[in-house]
Structure 1
Amino acid sequence: MVSTRSMAARAKAKQMNRPSATSATMKELALCHDNVVHIACLVAATSPEPIADLLSLRATCKAMHAAAKERDVGKCVPLERLDNMKWMENERYLAIVNHLVGAGNPDACFITGVTLVFAHQDMEQGLLFLNKAATAGHKAAAYVLGLLLYKFDDARATGKKYISQVEDDGNEASTGVGVKRTNRECQQYRKIVGDVIQEATWKVGGRRGRMLVLPEDSHHCTATGCGVESGWEGYGVFCSDDCRIKHEYSKFFTEAKQMKRPSMASATTKELALRHGNIVHIACLVAATSSEPITDLLSLCATCKAMHVVAKECDVGSYVPLERLDNMKWIENKRYFIVVNHLVTADNLDACFIVGVTLVFTHQDMEQGLLFLDKAAITGHKAVYVLGLLLHGDGEEAATGVGVKRTNQECQQYRKIAEDMIQEATWKVKG
Structure 2
Amino acid sequence: MKARRRHRSSLAELPTDLAIKIAGRLAATSKRPMDDLRALRATCRRMLRVCSEPEVGRRVTLGRFKDNMSWDDPAGYATLVGHLTKVGNPEACFLIGMEVAFRKGTPLASVCTIEFQHAAEFGHNLAAYVGAILLYRANDDAVSDDVARRYMREVEGEEDAVAAAAAGHGCLH
Shared fold per TM-score greater than 0.5 = yes
Residue 25 of structure 1: SS of its match in structure 2? coil
Equivalent residue, structure 1, for 2:136: 150
Q: 1:170-189, aligned counterparts within 5 Å?
A: none
Which of 83, 87, 92 is the aligned partner of 1:103? Answer: 87
Matched, 1:115 2:99: yes
One-letter amino acid of the structure 1 residue matched with residue 32 of structure 2: E
Equivalent residue, structure 2, for 1:305: none
Equivalent residue, structure 2, for 1:46: 29
Matched, 1:166 2:155: yes
1:41–1:116 CA distance, 2 compared to 1 (3 A)? same
Unaligned regions of 5+ residues in structure 1, if any?
1-19, 171-180, 185-231, 234-431
Q: Which has the larger radius of gyration?
A: 1
Which of 47, 65, 69 is the aligned partner of 1:85? Answer: 69
Equivalent residue, structure 2, for 1:72: 55
Equivalent residue, structure 2, for 1:128: 114
One-letter amino acid of the structure 2 residue matched with residue 131 of structure 1: Q
Displacement of 1:27 = 7.0
Higher RCO structure, 1 or 2 (CA under 8 Å, sep 6+): 2
For the residues of structure 1 that align with 2:72 and 2:101, how far apart are their CA atoms?
26
Which of 5, 29, 45 is the aligned partner of 1:62? Answer: 45
For the residues of structure 1 that align with 2:129 and 2:119, how far apart are their CA atoms?
11
Displacement of 1:61 = 1.4
Contact residue 36 and residue 63 of structure 1 kept, 8 A? no
Displacement of 1:148 = 1.0
One-letter amino acid of the structure 1 residue matched with residue 126 of structure 2: A
For the residues of structure 2 that align with 1:70 and 1:57, how far apart are their CA atoms?
13
Displacement of 1:98 = 0.2
For the residues of structure 1 that align with 2:9 and 2:30, how far apart are their CA atoms?
30
Q: How many residues align?
A: 154
1:158–1:27 CA distance, 2 compared to 1 (3 A)? closer
Which of 106, 124, 139 is the aligned partner of 2:125? Answer: 139
Q: 1:3-402, aligned counterparts within 5 Å?
A: 21=5, 25=8, 29-82=12-65, 83-120=67-104, 122-151=108-137, 152=139, 154=142, 155-168=144-157
For the residues of structure 2 that align with 1:169 and 1:50, how far apart are their CA atoms?
27
1:157–1:54 CA distance, 2 compared to 1 (3 A)? same
Contact residue 24 and residue 55 of structure 2 kept, 8 A? yes
One-letter amino acid of the structure 2 residue matched with residue 132 of structure 1: H
Unaligned regions of 5+ residues in structure 2, if any?
164-171
Q: Deviations over 1:77-97 (max 9, x none)?
A: 011112211222211111100
